[in-house]
Structure 1
Amino acid sequence: MVAHLLSLKWNLLVNGFKRSTWQLVGSIIGGLYALFWVVLLGFGSFELADESVELRGSIAVLVFSVVLLGWTFIPVLITGVDLTMDPARFNTFVLSRRDLSMGLLLSGFVGIPAALTLLAFLSQTLMWRPELGTMTAALLGALLGALMSQVLSRLVATAALAVTANRRFQDISAILLFIPLMLIGPAMASLADGFERAMEWLPTVAAVLGWTPFGIFAAIPWDVAQGHLWIALLRLLVAVLYVGLGYAVWSRLLMRSLENPSESKASGSIEGLGIFGKVPATPWGAVSARALIYWLKDPRYAGSLVVVPLMLVLAWIMYNQTENLHVVLWVAPVVMALMGFSISADVSYDSTAFSLHVLSGITGRDDRWGRVVACAAVSAPLYLILSLGVPFILGDLALIPALLGINACALMAGLGVSSIASARYTYAVPLPGESPFKSHPGSGVRMMVTQLVIMVSMAILTAPAVALLISYLVTNNSLWVWLLLPLGVGLGVLYVWLGVKIGGRWLDKGWPELMQATVRNR
Structure 2
Amino acid sequence: MVAQLIGVGTSSPGPAAPRLGAAETVALFVRLKLRLVGNGLMGSNRRLIASLIGTAAGIGMAVAGSYFAALLRHADSADAYVVLVYAGSAIVAGWMLLPIFVFGIDESLDPRRFVLLPLDRRALLVGLLAAGFVGVPSMTTLVVALSTTVTWSYGIVPVVYAVVGGVLVTVFCVIASRTVTTALSEIVRSRRIRDLWSVLGMLLVGLLAVLQVGLPSLAELATRSVLEDIAGLLAWTPLGAAWAAPYDALTGEWPLGLARLAVMAAAAAGLVAIWGHALRRTLESGGAPVRGRPSARRPGRGELTPGWARRILPSTVTGAVASRVLILWWRDPRQRVSLLIIPLILLAVVIAPSMAGIQDETLVILAPGIGTLIGLMMLNHTAYDGTAIWTHLVVSLPGRVDRAGRALGSATWALPVVVLASASMCLTIDRPDLLPGAIGGSVATVLTGLAFAAVSSVVIAFPAPPASANPFITPGGGNVAVVLQQFAGGLVVGLVSLPVYVVLGLTIWWRPEIGWGLLIAGPAYGLVLLRLGNRLGGRYLDDNGPELLSRITPTRT
TM range (shorter): 0.7 to 0.9
Listed one character per residue, the Cα deviations across residues 388-424 of structure 1 (whole Å, up to 9, x for unaligned) are: 2222112122222222322222222222333244343
Other-structure match for 1:302: 336
- More moved, 303-312 vs 382-391: 303-312
Q: Distance in 2 between matches of 1:35 and 1:230?
A: 35
Corresponding residue to 2:91 among 67, 71, 75: 67
Corresponding residue to 1:224 among 242, 249, 254: 249
* Offset, 1:382: 0.7
* Offset, 1:314: 4.9
TM-score (ref. length: structure 2):
0.81
Corresponding residue to 2:222 among 194, 197, 210: 197
After superposition, where does 1:37-436 map in structure 2 within 5 Å? Answer: 37-75=61-99, 81-155=105-179, 158=182, 163-174=187-198, 176-177=200-201, 187=212, 190=215, 194=219, 197-248=222-273, 250-251=275-276, 254-255=279-280, 257-261=282-286, 263-266=288-291, 269=295, 271-272=299-300, 273-275=303-305, 278=310, 280-305=314-339, 306-307=341-342, 309-310=344-345, 313-314=348-349, 325-436=360-471
Q: Which runs of 5+ in 2 are unaligned?
A: 1-23
Other-structure match for 1:21: 45
Q: Which runs of 5+ in 1 are unaligned?
A: none
Does the 8 Å CA contact 1:319/1:325 hold for their aligned counterparts? no
Q: Distance in 1 between matches of 2:416 and 2:283?
A: 47
Matched, 1:476 2:519: no
Listed one character per residue, the Cα deviations across residues 342-373 of structure 1 (whole Å, up to 9, x for unaligned) are: 33322233222221111122112221221111
* Gap change, CA 1:252 and 1:358, over 3 Å in 2: closer
- More moved, 193-202 vs 354-363: 193-202
Does the 8 Å CA contact 2:210/2:348 hold for their aligned counterparts? no
Q: Distance in 2 between matches of 1:217 and 1:110?
A: 22
Other-structure match for 1:486: 520
- More moved, 100-109 vs 292-301: 292-301
* Gap change, CA 1:74 and 1:166, over 3 Å in 2: farther
Q: Distance in 2 between matches of 1:10 and 1:63?
A: 31
Q: Distance in 2 between matches of 1:80 and 1:414?
A: 27
* Offset, 1:118: 1.8
Listed one character per residue, the Cα deviations across residues 272-300 of structure 1 (whole Å, up to 9, x for unaligned) are: 35129946553212211221122112344
Q: Distance in 2 between matches of 1:262 and 1:514?
A: 29
* Offset, 1:97: 4.3
Q: Distance in 2 between matches of 1:468 and 1:199?
A: 47
Letter of the 2:305 counterpart: I
* Gap change, CA 1:166 and 1:490, over 3 Å in 2: same
Does the 8 Å CA contact 1:6/1:107 hold for their aligned counterparts? yes
Listed one character per residue, the Cα deviations across residues 478-515 of structure 1 (whole Å, up to 9, x for unaligned) are: 3x233222222333333333333343344334333433
Q: Distance in 1 between matches of 2:420 and 2:214?
A: 29
Letter of the 2:34 counterpart: W
- More moved, 18-27 vs 300-309: 300-309
Q: Distance in 1 between matches of 2:76 and 2:509?
A: 53
- More moved, 285-294 vs 508-517: 508-517
Corresponding residue to 1:452 among 460, 466, 488: 488
- More moved, 235-244 vs 326-335: 235-244
* Gap change, CA 1:266 and 1:366, over 3 Å in 2: farther
* Gap change, CA 1:323 and 1:397, over 3 Å in 2: closer
Does the 8 Å CA contact 2:380/2:457 hold for their aligned counterparts? yes
Letter of the 1:418 counterpart: A
Does the 8 Å CA contact 2:346/2:421 hold for their aligned counterparts? no
Letter of the 1:210 counterpart: A
Does the 8 Å CA contact 1:343/1:371 hold for their aligned counterparts? no
Other-structure match for 1:504: 538
* Offset, 1:303: 4.1
Does the 8 Å CA contact 1:319/1:328 hold for their aligned counterparts? no
TM-score (ref. length: structure 1):
0.86
- More moved, 390-399 vs 498-507: 498-507
Q: Distance in 2 between matches of 1:30 and 1:137?
A: 31
- More moved, 195-204 vs 144-153: 195-204
Secondary structure of 1:334's aligned partner: helix
Count of residues in correspondence between the two structures: 520
Secondary structure of 2:367's aligned partner: helix
Q: Distance in 2 between matches of 1:197 and 1:447?
A: 34
* Offset, 1:39: 1.8
Does the 8 Å CA contact 1:430/1:436 hold for their aligned counterparts? yes
Listed one character per residue, the Cα deviations across residues 57-96 of structure 1 (whole Å, up to 9, x for unaligned) are: 2333333333333333443677665332233433444444
* Offset, 1:430: 3.3
